[in-house]
Amino acid sequence: MMISNSFGLKAKAKNHIHINTLDDLSMLDEVNQDEILILGAGTNVILSDYYDGTVISVQLKEIEINGNCIAVGAGLNWADLIEHCLINQLYGIENLTHIPGSVGAAPVQNIGAYGVEISSFIRSIECFNLSTRKVETLNNDQCEFSYRHSIFQLKNYIILKVNFIFNKSFEPNLSYPALSDFLKDNSIDSSSITPRALSESIKDIRNSKLPDPKLLPNVGSIFKNPILRTNDFDRTFLVGHRWDQADGYSKFSAARLVELIKPELIIPNTLGFYANHSLVLINNGGASFDEVINLLNQIQSKIYEQFKIQLVIEPEIIGS
């Protein structure tokens, strides 16, 4: 069975289970010994040509509202949640507009953009524990959220529903430089910006930097921005492409690091970098899993050799 993915790699799996209701969880008993891949919209994975196991796709899409708390099925498209919040005056995630994927995938990587992380709005997550074979609820502090990380990356849980707490009053986060610059350049008054206008601004920014996977197959940023001890690097290193964090750490631009070593790379014709963003790898057509992995290994090796920085691949690599 073919596995849909935004990078456009041809991939198949031995089995594929769709969870449309909680009763469908019983089907997992039939594949108890299989390797399991929990897959949402396939927007954050690099897949080999064959997965010798069972792919599980959660299709639960219900939304239940209780004041500023809402419970959302993991299968809902992320864009649909953004629109639902805008219509129902639930605020806080406008900066996360136009991120591809599903609601259930959002906590796995603790998605973040333009100064906002989704973990700030998660109260709890209902999931199926593959070890205990029971449905459990994990509170926010049990999810072990950090930068682009959560407990769900250990693959012990199938996320079924995410319980959010949003704000009833709109207090926009406009602190991110690229966002504040965009508002200024487009003569948008930050003091009177509406939730819809903020969401549309974020969409415009992302469209200017990130291509539509339906037109140019990609998985967004291919590497995470490294967060390293500030004092381990000269203050002049990556000036303009580094940002101080708390407790003596700084975030360094992975995109800039890639740009610095790009002339040394051997890139097959099937792959390329998006013109507007050096962290976005494009499948030009016919790219293979091995070609992608070889290129990523090249990049990591050259950056470590030159700068002693180990870049971490952001999408999940699913080998055979």
* Euclidean distance between CA atoms 309 and 253, whole angstroms: 11
Q: Are 78 and 153 in contact (CB under 8 A)?
A: no
Cα gap 153→164, rounded to integer Å: 20
User: Helix H segments across the chain?
Assistant: 78-87, 177-185, 195-209, 254-261, 289-307
- What length does the chain have? 320
Q: Which residues are catalytic?
A: 148, 221, 314
Answer for the pair 11, 51: CB distance below 8 angstroms, yes or no: yes
User: Which one-letter amino acid corresponds to residue 317?
Assistant: I
Contact partners, residue 14, CB within 8 Å, separation at least 6:
1, 34, 51, 52, 53, 54
DSSP β-ladder status, 63-66 and 69-73 = antiparallel
Helix (H) or strand (E) holding 190: none
- φ, ψ for residue 267, nearest 5 deg: -110, 120
